């Protein structure tokens, strides 16, 4: 049985920028008594156009920072970092439960799909890693997987352009092939993409189920904490934010995303880790 000290520890979450706040929002809904420590690597966003070695280096720095914040579980709320670094992180920090965003999304898509035609959109690095392809094809259903890199989506979200006409035009261009193939489930393979859910849904149509990795990973975290008897049952949770570059833009866009005021985001030198 875990001690009260272990239960009282925090949940750590990192992402390349503001996208992981979609995970934080869902975690706060499902686990309102937990304290969530969020790190957004805003100085080095996006990760999706960087090499595997660079993304892995960043992921280890982010993890070492969060470990110092007394965490009991960590979420890699970045599909690129999950695809390229999750296994190495889990090997290097064996005493810390670490959850990525790929496996929960894959499970939800396999459960959702009726015609076994599943689409995945993500950053260039996530798509080229083929992590989703491998995970989906391990299913016994004989799934047809269609993938599409959408490198412009992250900068559009980071700019706060989630309802612009240009964003819909870009989405139409990216998603045209998916529509032709006739997928019935689409994995939003980047935690920035749920912010574009409205536009993506308009482009794909109502018959296509959008799989939000933020929701699926939050549920996976809740399940694990309950299984391990590490979930807090008393007190009031809070969210504490850290960034690697000037916080003003993170606060401005982030509070629109969360639907509540962000009082403070502390800038740190992540290179020290």
pLDDT for the residue numbered 42: 96
CA separation for the pair 61, 19 (Å, rounded): 18
Contact present, 244 and 267 (Cβ < 8 Å):
yes
Q: Are residues 113 and 182 in the same domain?
A: yes
Reported as a pLDDT band with limits 50, 70 and 90, residue 214 is: confident
| Final residue belonging to a domain, choices 193, 213, 233 | 213
What CATH code is carried by the domain that includes residue 234? Answer: 3.40.50.1860
Q: Are residues 93 and 109 in the same domain?
A: no
Q: Which of 27, 55, 190, 217 is catalytic?
A: 190
Residue the block writes with tokens 């049985």: 1
Reported as a pLDDT band with limits 50, 70 and 90, residue 191 is: confident
Asked if the model's pLDDT at residue 152 lies above 90, the reply is yes
- pLDDT tens-place string over residues 92-120: 999 999 999 999 999 999 999 999 999 99
Q: Are residues 111 and 209 in the same domain?
A: yes
Q: Are residues 223 and 255 in the same domain?
A: yes
Q: What is the mean pLDDT of residues 35-51?
A: 95
How much is the pTM? Answer: 0.89
Q: Are residues 134 and 209 in the same domain?
A: yes
Q: For the chain, where are the alpha helices, taking DSSP H only?
A: 4-7, 21-30, 52-67, 79-92, 102-112, 124-129, 131-137, 153-158, 165-181, 197-204, 213-227, 247-258
Q: What is the mean pLDDT of residues 13-26?
A: 94
Share of the chain above pLDDT 70, in %: 100
Q: Are residues 207 and 220 in the same domain?
A: no
Contact present, 261 and 253 (Cβ < 8 Å):
no
Q: What is the mean pLDDT of residues 216-220?
A: 92
- Name the average pLDDT for the chain: 94
| Final residue belonging to a domain, choices 179, 213, 247 | 213
| Final residue belonging to a domain, choices 173, 198, 213 | 213
pLDDT for the residue numbered 2: 86
Q: How many domains does the chain have?
A: 2
Asked if the model's pLDDT at residue 141 lies above 80, the reply is no
CA torsion, points 79, 220, 59, 133, in degrees to nearest 10? -30
pLDDT for the residue numbered 256: 80
Q: Are residues 220 and 95 in the same domain?
A: yes
Q: Are residues 42 and 173 in the same domain?
A: no
Q: How remote is the C-alpha of 30 from its chain's centroid? A: 16
Q: What is the mean pLDDT of residues 52-71?
A: 98
Q: Are residues 180 and 96 in the same domain?
A: no
* CB proximity list for 143: less than 8 A, separation 6 or greater: 110, 113, 116, 117, 118, 136, 137
Q: What is the mean pLDDT of residues 251-260?
A: 87
Q: What is the mean pLDDT of residues 166-193?
A: 95
Residue the block writes with tokens 């008393």: 234
Q: Are residues 204 and 225 in the same domain?
A: no
CA angle 260, 65, 228 (to 5 degrees): 75
Residue 78 annotated as catalytic? yes
Q: Are residues 195 and 114 in the same domain?
A: yes
Q: Which of 11, 24, 78, 86 is catalytic?
A: 78
Q: Which domain holds residue 12?
A: 4-100+215-272
Task: Quickly list DSSP for 153-218.
Answer: HHHHHHTT-TT-HHHHHHHHHHHHHHHHHT-SEEEEESTTGGGGHHHHHHHH-TTSEEEEHHHHHH
For residue 144, the surrounding DSSP H or E stretch is: strand 144-149
Reported as a pLDDT band with limits 50, 70 and 90, residue 142 is: confident
Asked if the model's pLDDT at residue 88 lies above 80, the reply is yes
Q: Are residues 107 and 90 in the same domain?
A: no
């Amino acid at each position: 049985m875990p001690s009260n000290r272990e239960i009282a520890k925090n949940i750590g979450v990192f992402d390349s920028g503001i996208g992981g706040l979609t995970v934080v929002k869902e975690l706060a809904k499902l686990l309102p008594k937990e304290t969530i420590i969020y790190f957004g690597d805003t100085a080095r966003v996006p990760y999706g156009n960087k090499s595997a070695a660079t993304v892995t280096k960043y992921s280890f720095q982010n993890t070492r920072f969060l470990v110092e914040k007394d965490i009991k579980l960590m979420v890699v709320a970045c599909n690129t970092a999950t695809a390229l670094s999750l296994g190495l992180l889990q090997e290097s920090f064996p005493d810390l439960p670490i959850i990525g965003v790929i496996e929960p999304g894959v499970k939800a898509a396999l459960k959702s799909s009726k015609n076994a035609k599943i689409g995945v959109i993500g950053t260039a690095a996530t798509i080229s890693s083929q992590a989703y392809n491998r995970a989906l094809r391990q299913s016994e259903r004989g799934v047809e997987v269609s993938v599409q890199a959408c490198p412009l989506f992250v900068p559009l979200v980071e700019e706060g352009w989630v309802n612009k006409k240009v964003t819909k035009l870009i989405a139409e261009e990216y998603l045209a092939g998916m529509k032709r193939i006739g997928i019935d489930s689409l994995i939003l393979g980047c935690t920035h993409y749920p912010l574009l859910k409205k536009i993506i849904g308009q482009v794909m149509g109502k018959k296509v189920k959008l799989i939000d990795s933020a929701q699926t990973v939050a549920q996976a975290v809740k399940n694990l904490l309950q299984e391990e008897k590490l979930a807090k049952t008393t007190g009031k949770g809070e969210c504490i934010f850290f960034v690697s570059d000037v916080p003003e833009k993170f606060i401005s866009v982030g509070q629109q995303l969360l639907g509540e005021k962000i009082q403070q985001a502390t800038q740190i030198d992540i290179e020290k880790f």
